[in-house]
Structure 1
Amino acid sequence: MTKSPIIIALDFPNLDEVQSFLGKFKGESLFVKVGMELFYAEGPKVVTYLKEAGHSVFLDLKLHDIPNTVYSAMKRLASLGVDLINVHAYGGTAMMRGAMEGLIEGTPSGKSRPLCIAVTQLTSTSEEQLHLEGFTDLALADMVEKQALLVKEAGLDGVVCSPLESKRLKEVVGSDFVTVTPGIRPAGADIGDQKRIATPADAKRNQSSYIVVGRPITRAENPVLAYEQIQKEWEETIL
């Protein structure tokens, strides 16, 4: 897996647009995210293309189903050679354990198992929405903390969470717990549909393991420059 902490979200509708975008980086090895839109449009071939091009891949499908279904799906997805994959923590500990079993069994001999993480609360979820539609009086931060503890209990490697929650989760669950944080916006950028956001520097100070950045890079006039500026901000931030 590439050592870069910056995961570029390839939120494109098809492989042609992915190839056009990545062509701007002139063969550089990147860490990229393949989400539902792209995977459902192109299927496994998009992952094969990215891996053959030398990129690390986060397959972001947020699996959430009965344990046996998730086990079987993960067993198949493990054969694609992705580096990072996820489920939704709302599926419960039995489902998350099933996901890990499937990944272990499906990983080809001699290859490393993909890291497996779980989504806690989407960064588009607000405190008000959680209370109104999640039927709970728990504060959002407390809910995320409880979910992270369940993720750890199930044997997963970490979580997808808000960059605002990363530091606290590592204090509670352990410093080796992987935190992948979307909702990253450089200062002055449009926040889009995100609610709980942070700058790259804020995310590093909050001990994010990886940051996911989409539109600030993919829709920039100069994506390479935008990527390099975010990378520089990360590297120059002192903890």
Structure 2
Amino acid sequence: MSRPTTVTPEPATRLIVALDFAEADAALAFARQLDPAQCALKVGFELFVVAGPALLQRLHDLGFRVFLDLKFHDIPNTVAAACRAAARTGVWLINVHASGGLEMMRAAHEAVRETNDTTSLLAVTVLTSSDAGTLREIGVSREPADQVGLLGELAIQKAGLEGLVCSAQEAAMLRRRLGERPLLVTPGIRLEDSGGDDQKRVMTPERALEAGASAIVVGRPITRAPDPAAAMEAFVTRLNMPNDAVE
């Protein structure tokens, strides 16, 4: 199947809300409070292990595009098989760890391309919970931005993937090196008065877009807010404001 030449999301999907829930009923109850015209949804490890593919179908039935965030990382054949199975569910985005290497990413991409041409494959560069100290602990001497640039070029220019998961702090650098085609999905997004939780490389929503992010991922600042609907509206408003409107 042919792949789209660009996968930059529509304005309605610039916001991806992470469903940080431990059970399907809670996740679905929360999703029903949201508007699929304003956001997409992200399903990660815990929720998918609990609820499985049936949850993805129920979210699709509610009208949401879904980012299945399982960060596959294994030998090429295993990752290709997992990506093929994920693509069959009809999700919008799936991802692999770029640190799995070129052969693994190429195998994964080919599996997705052969299975579903509406699913796009992203590569995770360096987790937003990691900093230079974290990288040194695992034997990587490069600074996070340098490692992100290296993995980004490997994933986009050599493996042909549609996009990257990266910190918004590296988005501008990636745009300079990779151009406008890749989809850049950026977690670690916070408003100025929010805590960082376990995220270390964070940025506000409008600055992330200004830096070149295609879509932002927001979890706990919305799902654990005293008023989640109001919290989501704050992010939607900020995403639609001119870049110089918030100082």
TM (norm. structure 1) is 0.93
- The alpha carbon displacement at 1:136 in A equals 2.7
- The match for 1:53 is 62
- The match for 1:174 is 179
For 2:229 and 2:37, the matched residues in 1 are separated by 10
For 2:26 and 2:204, the matched residues in 1 are separated by 27
- The alpha carbon displacement at 1:28 in A equals 5.5
1:33 aligned onto 2:33: no
- The alpha carbon displacement at 1:27 in A equals 7.0
- The alpha carbon displacement at 1:26 in A equals 6.5
Q: What does residue range 15-94 of structure 1 map to in structure 2 within 5 Å?
A: 15-25=24-34, 30-94=39-103
Percent identity between matched residues is 41
Q: What's the Cα RMSD here?
A: 1.5
Gaps of 5+ in 2: 1-8
Contact 1:8–1:214 (Cα < 8 Å) also in 2? yes
User: 3-state SS of the aligned residue for 2:33?
Assistant: helix
Among candidates 102, 118, 135, match of residue 123 of structure 2: 118
Q: What does residue range 1-239 of structure 1 map to in structure 2 within 5 Å?
A: 3-25=12-34, 30-107=39-116, 112-131=117-136, 133-152=137-156, 153-238=158-243
User: 3-state SS of the aligned residue for 1:165?
Assistant: helix
Runs of 4+ in structure 1 over 3 Å off: 26-30
TM (norm. structure 2) is 0.90
Gaps of 5+ in 1: none
For 1:178 and 1:171, the matched residues in 2 are separated by 14
For 2:190 and 2:100, the matched residues in 1 are separated by 29
Alpha-carbon spacing, 1:77–1:26, altered in 2? closer, same or farther (3 Å): closer
Q: What letter is aligned with 1:43? A: G
For 1:26 and 1:179, the matched residues in 2 are separated by 23
For 1:223 and 1:93, the matched residues in 2 are separated by 40
Contact 2:76–2:107 (Cα < 8 Å) also in 1? yes
**Segment drifting more, 188-197 vs 97-106:** 97-106
User: 3-state SS of the aligned residue for 1:198?
Assistant: coil
Contact 1:29–1:55 (Cα < 8 Å) also in 2? no
- The alpha carbon displacement at 1:104 in A equals 1.7
